[in-house]
Amino acid sequence: MSTTHTTEVINPSVHNDLADLKPEISDLGLRRPDHSKNVIIDWMTTVDHKKIGLMYGAMALFFLLVGGFEALVIRTQLMVPENDLISAQRYNQLFTMHGTTMIFLAIMPLNAAFFNFLVPLQIGARDVAFPRINAFSLWAFVAGALVINFGWLLQALEMFGLFTASGATAGMNDFVPAMGWFGYAPITSTEFTGAGTDFWIMGLQILGVASLSASLNFIVTIINMRAPGMKMMRLPVFTWMTLIVSLLIIFAFPAITVALIQLMFDRVFGTNFFSVGGGGQPILWQHLFWIFGHPEVYILVLPAMGIVSEVLPTFARKPLFGYAIVVFSGAVIGFLGFAVWSHHMFTTGLGKIATAAFSLLTMAIAVPTGVKIFNWVGTLWGGQIRFHAPMIFAIGFVWMFMMGGFSGIMHSSAPADAQQQDSYFVIAHFHYVAIGGILLAIVSGIYYWLPKMIGKMWQGNLNIWVGIFTVVGLNITFFPMHFLGLLGQPRRTHTYLSGFGWESYNMVCTIGSYILAFGVLLLVVDIVRCFRSKQLAGNDPWDARTLEWATSSPPKVYNFAATPIVNARDGFWADKYGPENRKLGEVDESHGIHMPSQSWMPMIASAGFIPLGLGLSLMQAGVPFMGYVAILGLVIIALGISLWALEGPGGYHLHPKKESN
Partner 1 sequence: MSLLSLLLISGCDLNTRMSTFTAKGPVAETQLNLFMLTVWVTGFIFLAVGGVYVYVVIRFRDKKDGNESIPSQGHGNPLVEMGLIGVSILLLVIIAVPTLQGIWYTHDVPDDESSLLGSWYTNGDLSEADAKEPFIIRAIGYRWWWEFEYPQLGISTANEMVIPAGRPIHIELRSVDVIHSFWLPKIAGKVDLIPGRANSMWIQAGDTIDAWAKKAEFEGTDNERLLAYEQYLEDEIYDYYYGQCAEYCGDSHARMLFRAHVVKDEDFYAWVNRMDAGHAEAPEGMTWDDWYASYDETPEELTGDVHEGLKLFMGRAKCATCHAVKGNPRAVGVAGPNLTYLAERHSIAAGWLNHRNDDNSVDSEAQLNNFIKWIKDTDEVKPGNLMWKAKGAGIGELDPLLNDEEIRKISLYLQSLQ
Residues 165-184 that bind partner 1 (CB under 8 A): 179-180, 184
Q: Stretches 107-115, 134-142, 372-380, 520-528: which one binds partner 1 (CB under 8 A)?
A: 372-380
| CA dist., res. 257 & res. 289, Å (int) | 9
Among 371, 438, 442, 537, binds partner 1 (CB under 8 A): 371
- Map the footprint of partner 1 across residues 373-402, applying CB under 8 A: 373-375, 377-378, 380-387, 395, 398-399, 402
Phi, psi of 509 (to 5 degrees): -55, -45
Q: How far is the CB of 371 from partner 1 (least distance, A)?
A: 6
Q: Which class for 641: exposed (0-12), middle (13-18), buried (19 or more C-beta within 10 A)?
A: middle
331 is a site residue for partner 1 (CB under 8 A): no
Give the whole-angstrom CA distance, residue 211 versus residue 250. Answer: 8
Q: Does 464 participate in binding partner 1 (rule CB under 8 A)? A: no
Rule CB under 8 A: say whether 233 interacts with partner 1: no
* DSSP SS3 for 653: strand
Stretch that binds partner 1, among 144-152, 198-206, 299-307, 354-362 (CB under 8 A): 354-362
Sign of CA dihedral 303, 305, 306, 311: positive
Of 399 and 625, which has the nearer Cβ to partner 1?
399
Q: Taking CB under 8 A as the rule, does residue 412 contact partner 1?
A: yes
By the 8 A CB rule, do 229 and 223 touch? no
Indicate the residue among 520 and 574 with the shorter CB distance to partner 1. 574
Count of residues that bind partner 1 according to CB under 8 A: 94
Binds partner 1 (CB under 8 A): choice among 366, 468, 521, 565: 366
Sign of CA dihedral 14, 20, 25, 27: positive
Q: Which is nearer to partner 1, 131 or 280 (CB)?
A: 280
3-state secondary structure at position 509: helix
Q: Are 435 and 478 in contact (CB under 8 A)?
A: yes
492 binds partner 1, rule: CB under 8 A: yes
80 in contact with partner 1 (CB under 8 A): no
Let me know how long the chain is. Answer: 661
538 binds partner 1 (CB under 8 A): no
Q: Is 359 in the site for partner 1 (CB under 8 A)?
A: yes
Q: Which helix (H) or strand (E) holds 331?
A: helix 323-336
Residue whose CB is less far from partner 1, 319 or 585: 319
Residue 286 CA to residue 265 CA, distance in Å, equals 17
Phi first, then psi: give them for residue 14, nearest 5 degrees: -110, 130
Element (H, E) at 586: strand 585-586
Is residue 549 close enough to count as binding partner 1 by CB under 8 A?
Answer: no
Least gap, CB of 205 to partner 1 (angstroms): 22
Write out the H or E segment, with its range, that includes residue 15: strand 14-15
> How far is the C-alpha of 122 from the C-alpha of 136, rounded, in Å?
23
What is d(CA 117, CA 344) in angstroms, rounded to the nearest whole number?
34
Among 257, 348, 459, 533, contact with partner 1 (rule: CB under 8 A):
348
Closest CB to partner 1 among residues 127, 266: 266
The nearest distance, CB 99 to partner 1, in angstroms, is 11
Label the pairing between strands 652-654 and 14-15: parallel
26 binds partner 1 (CB under 8 A): no
x/- map, 413-432, partner 1, by CB under 8 A: xxxxxxxxxxx---------
Of residues 93 through 132, those in contact with partner 1 by CB under 8 A are none
SS3 sequence of 347-364: CCCCCHHHHHHHHHHHHH
Check if the beta carbon of residue 456 is closer than 8 Å to that of residue 530.
yes
Q: Closest approach of Cβ 350 to partner 1, in Å?
A: 10
* Least distance from partner 1 to the Cβ atom of residue 463, Å: 17
**309 near partner 1, rule: CB under 8 A:** no
- The 471-490 contact track toward partner 1, x by CB under 8 A, reads --------xx--x--xxxxx
Task: Tell me if 76 contacts partner 1 by CB under 8 A.
Answer: no
For position 571 contacting partner 1 by CB under 8 A, the verdict is: no
Q: Which of these segments, 136-144, 229-237, 334-342, 404-412, binds partner 1 (CB under 8 A)?
A: 404-412
| Residue 209 identity (one-letter amino acid) | V
Amino acid at 130: F
Tell me the three-class secondary structure of 29-78, residue by residue: CCECCCCCCCHHHHHHCCCCHHHHHHHHHHHHHHHHHHHHHHHHHHHHHC
Q: What span, in angstroms and rounded, lies between the C-alpha atoms of 190 and 209? A: 25
- Tell the smallest beta-carbon distance from residue 132 to partner 1 (Å): 39
- Which of 9, 157, 577, 638 touches partner 1 by CB under 8 A? 577
Site for partner 1 in 246-285 (CB under 8 A): 276, 280-283
Using CB atoms within 10 A of its CB, is residue 518 exposed (0-12), middle (13-18) or buried (19+)?
middle
Q: Least distance in Å: CB of 269 to partner 1? A: 20
User: Looking at beta carbons only, is 504 or 660 nearer to partner 1?
Assistant: 504
Q: Kindly report the backbone phi and psi dihedral angles of residue 398, in degrees, each rounded to the nearest multiple of 5, phi listed first.
A: -60, -45
Work out the number of other CB atoms within 10 angstroms of the CB of residue 410: 15
Peptide bond into 33 cis (omega under 30): no
Q: Which is nearer to partner 1, 387 or 628 (CB)?
A: 387
CB of 435 to partner 1, least distance (A): 15
CB of 599 to partner 1, least distance (A): 43
Q: Which residue, 580 or 588, has its beta carbon nearer to partner 1?
A: 580
List the one residue from 228, 229, 254, 322 that touches partner 1 (CB under 8 A): 322
The residue within the footprint of partner 1, chosen from 7, 164, 460, 501 (CB under 8 A), is 501
Q: Rounded to the nearest whole angstrom, what is the least distance from the CB of residue 365 to partner 1 in the complex? A: 10
Task: Return the residue of 1, 10, 88, 153 that touches partner 1, per CB under 8 A.
Answer: 88
Q: Which is nearer to partner 1, 93 or 246 (CB)?
A: 93
User: Binding to partner 1 by residue 187, rule CB under 8 A?
Assistant: yes
Which of 499, 588, 590, 660: binder of partner 1 (CB under 8 A)?
499
Q: What are phi and psi of 641, to 5 degrees?
A: -70, -40
Q: At its nearest, how many Å lie between partner 1 and the CB of residue 400?
A: 10
Query: Binding residue for partner 1 (CB under 8 A) from 320, 440, 601, 619?
Result: 320
Under rule CB under 8 A, residue 319 binds partner 1? yes
Measured between alpha carbons, how far is 228 from 555 in angstroms, rounded to an integer?
Answer: 20
* Residue 653, beta-bridge partner list: 14, 594
Between the alpha carbon of residue 385 and those of residues 313, 382, 391, 529, the distances in Å are 9, 9, 8, 26
Q: Is 186 in the site for partner 1 (CB under 8 A)?
A: yes
13 binds partner 1 (CB under 8 A): no
- Contact partners, residue 89, CB within 8 Å, separation at least 6: 174, 178
Per-residue b or e along 39-62, where b marks 16 or more CB atoms closer than 10 Å to that residue's CB: eeebebbbbbbbbbbbbbbebbbe
